[in-house]
Amino acid sequence: MKYVDEMTDAICREIIQKKNRITDQVETIYLGGGTPSVLPSKHFEKIFNTITQNFSVSSGAEITIEANPDDLDARKIAEMRQLPVNRFSIGIQSFFDDDLLWMNRAHSATEAETCIKRSQDAGFENLSIDLIYGYPLLSDSKWLRNINKAVEFNTPHISAYSLTVEPRTALASAIKKGKQIPINDEQSAAQFITLTEKLNEAGFEHYEISNYSKPGKYAVHNTNYWRGIPYLGIGPSAHGFDGLTRYLNLANNAQYLNLIQQGKLAEEIEELSIFDRFNEYVMTALRTMWGVSLNKIEKDFGKFFLENMFKSMKVFTEREWLINDGEYLKLTAEGKLFADYIASELFQTEEDHR
């Protein structure tokens, strides 16, 4: 792997550069946003050593690594057992070879199943697996089989995402040229409902729009993000948040390396207005089963924000897409189908306060 030593050194340097940004005990560490599992174990050791030397890490910290099934062979899993990693997030996507081929995934359905069993046999019980739905090849019967297969593995956490077509991608181009079938929103909605019903029957809690877990097995890292707790982002394209400001690292690897090697920070700073922070809190909190705290809105943003939100939410409570229990604003089962739209209608701008 080209520049792996230089990139690991740069990541460790950035950790040291930013060690004063977090003074509280570290409760979660998440290595993701790519395929970190391809890194040799000695690089992980260096990164973890740098973290523990510069931060106070909780003895019970959730330490997650994203992995592709084809990376998690017996040797890699054995290496991971020697590291502080205690949770895998595995990009399964599907248990059908034709679907994986359509998605341009490198692994097979057999590898998907084998890596889960192998991880569990090695003692990694805290697993999260990703599934994708809402794409043309996925019939309802195949989707049911994917869900049942995921449940059979008894993993405590399942994340599921509706396929989205990003602009300027090969899929977007193929759909535009008529070479691929367009994404069907009704199919996605129906499969989302099926997923929720089946996982609820299997004892999972639907604690965030795209995330399901056995009771008490929520992803701590993601939950803290949705709650607006500050976090530190390290590496190219990473972003951090201190409660008022967002820090965005450069995405260009060469530029990132060059600046870090010069002892500079490879980041851009985005000062968040009170409206930015309000809108981001509403967007993330509304997606969770805990909902938007009305007390937090009044305490952190003021009565005007709360009053305006009461006005905006009325149409959705009347439609029974939202429930206001006096303390929290939560989505109903039907409301979850329109989560992004509802959140956007609750957003506030300076114009709303004139």
55 is written with which tokens? 């931060």
Of 179, 274, 282, nearest in space to 227 by CA: 282
**For the chain, what is the mean pLDDT?**
91
Instruction: Give the pLDDT of residue 179.
Output: 63
Structure confidence by residue, pLDDT tens digits, 47-93 = 999 999 999 999 999 999 999 999 899 999 999 999 999 999 999 99
Structure confidence by residue, pLDDT tens digits, 246-267 = 999 999 999 999 999 999 999 9
Gyration radius (Cα) of the chain, Å: 22
Residue 51, exposed/middle/buried by CB under 10 A (0-12, 13-18, 19+)? buried
Residue 31, exposed/middle/buried by CB under 10 A (0-12, 13-18, 19+)? buried
**Stated pTM of the model:** 0.92
Instruction: Give the pLDDT of residue 174.
Output: 63
Q: If pLDDT is split at 50, 70 and 90, which confidence band does 176 have?
A: low
Q: Which CATH number fits domain 23-226: 3.40.30.120, 3.60.150.10, 3.30.750.200, 2.160.10.10?
A: 3.30.750.200
Q: Of all helices (H) and strands (E), which one includes residue 29?
A: strand 26-31
Query: Cα–Cα distance between 342 and 243 in angstroms, integer?
Result: 24
Is the Cβ–Cβ distance between 1 and 8 less than 8 Å? Answer: no
Sorted by where each begins, the domain ranges of the chain are: 23-226, 274-353
CATH 1.10.10.920 describes domain 274-353? yes
User: Does position 231 have pLDDT exceeding 90, yes or no?
Assistant: yes
Structure confidence by residue, pLDDT tens digits, 111-138 = 999 999 999 999 999 999 999 999 888 9
Q: If pLDDT is split at 50, 70 and 90, which confidence band does 172 have?
A: low
Provide mean pLDDT across the span 289-317.
Answer: 95
Q: If pLDDT is split at 50, 70 and 90, which confidence band does 352 have?
A: confident
User: Does position 200 have pLDDT exceeding 90, yes or no?
Assistant: yes
Query: Cα–Cα distance between 80 and 158 in angstroms, integer?
Result: 21
Instruction: Give the pLDDT of residue 3.
Output: 80
User: What proportion of the chain, given as a percentage, has pLDDT over 90?
Assistant: 80
3-class secondary structure, 60? strand
Q: Determine the distance from the C-alpha atom of residue 254 to the mean position of all C-alpha atoms in its chain, rounded to a whole number.
A: 26
Dihedral Cα 190, 320, 214, 188, nearest 10 deg: 20
265 is written with which tokens? 């920070």
Classify residue 331 by its DSSP letter.
E
User: Does position 331 have pLDDT exceeding 60, yes or no?
Assistant: yes
> Within 10 A of 317 (CB to CB), how many other CB atoms are there?
15
Classify strands 211-213 and 239-241 as parallel, antiparallel or unpaired: unpaired
Query: Cα–Cα distance between 232 and 18 in angstroms, integer?
Result: 8
